[in-house]
Structures are given as C-alpha cells and as structure tokens.
Homo-oligomer: A and B are copies of this chain.
Amino acid sequence: MPENSEPRRSLLIIGGAEDKIGRVTILRRFVRLAGGRKSNIVVIPTASSLASEVIEVYSTVFSRLGCPEVSSVDPQTRLESSSPELVERIDNATGVFISGGNQLKLSQLIVGTPLGDAMLRAYERGAVIAGTSAGASIMSQFMISMGEEGVTPRQRSSQLTQGLGLVPGVIIDQHFDQRSRYGRLLSLVAGSPSLLGMGIDEDTAAEITNGHEMTIVGSGAVFIVDARRAQTDAHEARRDAPLLVTGAVVHSLPYGATFDLTTATLTDFVEQNADVAVTAAKDQHDTATAAAALRH
C-alpha cells in the first residue's frame, strides 16, 4: 500500500451460525482480512452467556486458520470498558470479532465507552471488524432488537437502540431467513425511511469495504430494503396493526453480487451458483459445429 493512501476499511457482518467445521468460508475470509499469519485477533464474547465456550471455539478455529495471536476482551461493566489495558488490546489488533448473544448487552456495556471508541479507531486504521448475530446488529448506528417472526410489518413489532455506528445508514438484522425477520425489519424501516434495512441469512456475511461497497460471502443471501421513496402509515398506525408500506425496493443478494450501499444498487454480479443444463451446452456445441461447417 502506498504510504499516503487511506487505509482500506473492512467490515465482515455475519448473519449467525457461520460454518466452523467444514469449509469455514466466512471465518477464513475474516482471518485473511485480519492479516493471516501476521494477524492479531481479539474476540469479544460479551454478548454471549457462554463466554468461555465462545472464546474456546473461535480461538481454536482462528489458530487452525493460521492466526499466531488470539486473545479476548470481555468487559462486564462500563467501568471495565474504560480499562486502558482492554483499550490497548484493541489498539493493537488487526482484527476484532464480536460474538453472538444478546446485542442489548453490547449497547449497555460497550457503546460510547473507551473500548467502543477503540473499535471505531481500529476500523478507521484498517483493522477488520467482524461480528456474528448480535455482533452483527451492534455494528449499525441504529440497532434492531426484539421482535416477532413473520413477513407482515406490524407497528412497534421491534425496537431501535444505539449501536456502535460502524455502519451509519443501515439497520442490520440477522438469522434473517431462518427466523423470518422480514416483517420486523420492514416495520423499522417504515418508521425511519432514510435508513436501509439489511437482513443477513445464517452462514452468510456482508463484507463492506470503505463504508459502502458490499460483497456477499457464504451460503445464503443478504436482503436489502430501500424505503426512501416508499409511503407508509408508521406515524399513525396503532400498536401491532399491519403497516402500510408501498413502493419499497428490495434486493436479495447471493454470493457473487456486489452492491453499493450509498446508491442502493447492484454494481456487479458474477453467477456462482450456475446450473448450466446439459441441453444448453449441447445447443452451444451444435451452433459451433454448424458455424464451423458453414465457413467451408
């Protein structure tokens, strides 16, 4: 990298339940972004009620993938999140991994503390910040929590809390397909139409570069809803009522898609799940043979 260039800023936002045993596609990508054999990774298991298991699992996976140094930071109070020792750990990291669990615990214990600030600094200087499940949602400025399953948007079916702010204009939801969270995401976007809604499936990640270029990693899809030109009744509908949302634009993006979050448009797509039928191949062969024959 030339000395005077801006660092490449990277986020890896995972919808939960990423593969840890098979091809480990997403976690492998994280390790690569963190610098591989030169990485220094910090795991934050604070959202989880099983912190020691979380540390054990991710340390093992990251070590197997070649990371020389994996440590953890697990504050239990906001005071602990001011500890210079924990802050220094983040300041030295090339990758930070936020586990799943209860994202409200992360807002309570980390957002707005010196530890949270250190994570923002780490991101700005080019360390990759990754989070899965709760660790994904906390990355947004307006963080989603609570809410029922289902596809129909209902008034006050979910809520917003302050998140880390690594992704300012996007509400990030996870386990999207598996827990059917379309309705709750749409209900929040209906109330705050200038925020994009992003729903990430399990074993799937949105990799965001420099704050706006998104590519997809993993086996599922990333869903985007853009309600900036939509009309809704979210300012007046009663609690639990189905909401009017008309004219929202949606995108379902699998591996191979590149999407710009500023313009909310697909910028590239390379089919990764092709099923070129035998007949199609045969047709091509027939055409090529005929073309060759006709040339003589």
| Chain A interface residues toward B at CB < 8 A | 149-153, 155, 176-178, 180-183, 186, 199, 201, 219-221, 223, 225, 231, 233, 236-239, 241-257, 259, 265-266, 269, 271, 273-276
Contacts and interface: CB of A to CB of B under 8 A. Distances in A.
A249 B228 CA distance: 12
Question: Which residue, A176, A181, A199, A242, has most C-beta atoms of chain B within 10 A?
Answer: A242
A221 B242 contact: yes
Given A151-B177, A176-B152, A183-B177, A246 B239 contact: no
A81 to B, nearest CB: 35
Contacts of A219: 242
A281 to B, nearest CB: 12
Contacts of A266: 231, 244, 246-247
Copies of this chain, tallied across the complex: 2
A186 B225 CA distance: 14
Nearest to A204: B242
A182 B231 CA distance: 20
A237 to B, nearest CB: 5
22 contacts: A150-B177, A151-B181, A151-B223, A152-B220, A155-B273, A180-B182, A221-B243, A233-B269, A237-B271, A237-B273, A238-B273, A239-B275, A241-B275, A242-B273, A243-B254, A245-B251, A246-B251, A246-B265, A247-B265, A248-B250, A248-B251, A249-B249
Given A152-B223, A183-B177, A236-B271, A201 B242 contact: yes
A151 B151 contact: yes
Given A221-B243, A241-B275, 9 more contacts: A151-B151, A151-B181, A219-B242, A233-B254, A236-B275, A241-B254, A242-B254, A244-B254, A246-B253
10 tightest Cβ-Cβ pairs between the two chains A and B: A238-B275, A241-B273, A221-B242, A152-B177, A180-B180, A242-B254, A246-B266, A246-B251, A245-B252, A151-B182
Contacts of A256: 244
A190 B242 CA distance: 25
Given A180-B149, A249-B247, A276 B242 contact: no
A238 B247 CA distance: 30
A141 B269 CA distance: 32
A292 to B, nearest CB: 26
Contacts of A244: 252-254, 256-257, 266, 269
Contacts of A245: 250-252
A203 B257 CA distance: 38
A201 B231 contact: no
B236 A276 contact: yes
Nearest to A149: B180
Contacts of A265: 246-247
Contacts of A153: 221, 252
